[in-house]
Amino acid sequence: MNILIHPTYFPSISHFVAIAQADSITFEMEDNYQKQTNRNRTLIYSPNGLQLLNIPIKHSKEKHQKTKDVKLETAFDWQKQHFKSLEAAYRTSPFFEYFEDAITPIFTKKHTFLMDLNLETMAIVSKCLGMPFEYNQTVEYFHEVPDFNDFRNLTNGKKDTATFESYTQVFGDKHGFLNNLSILDLLFNEGRFALDYLKNQTI
């Protein structure tokens, strides 16, 4: 299938299920930014349960700003905070240390634009999964896209109702299985088996 999808920050498992099963991937680059979506946030499994990691962005005076033009807010050291949260959540997971060096650059490199950061997180995760990261980009926005399987709705977590097979999670004994978190949750818990998992899910 040919899919159209948003680049988001360490995307949800549903994002990567679609990507892993796609014949071709096109990223939406011409959409208007929308608040409270996964464009600038991701969900992880913390010791206390569900935790949202949110990237601060510079607010624009323009009513409609394209996502590709959104800049990161550098007044807050969100990178340090996010990495500490990931350590607290996954340091004891089977594969955190194995992938730690691969993901660390995201939390040290200073990006200007949210879109560049999101694309880099997806490239890093794809490499960790052993999956090629080849894609096209839109040059114009279309509401209807008959030539694609349209997965752009997945960027709105409230509209993403996908449910997947359970796997072992670090705090599963404490809080039970949490569905469709960041791809990092699957990667740190399942390691080299994560890609097979993605290919075997239904979306």
Residues found in the chain? 203
- Give me the domain span that covers residue 76: 2-199
176/46 Cα distance (integer angstroms): 12
The structure tokens listed for 188 are 């740190």
| Cα–Cα nearest to 38, from 6, 85, 82, 75 | 6
Q: Each residue's pLDDT tens digit in the chain (203 positions)?
A: 999 999 999 999 999 999 999 999 999 999 999 999 999 999 999 999 999 999 999 988 777 899 999 999 988 899 999 999 999 999 999 999 999 999 999 999 999 999 999 999 999 999 999 999 999 999 999 999 999 999 999 999 888 899 999 999 999 999 999 999 999 999 999 999 999 999 999 98
Total count of domains within the chain: 1
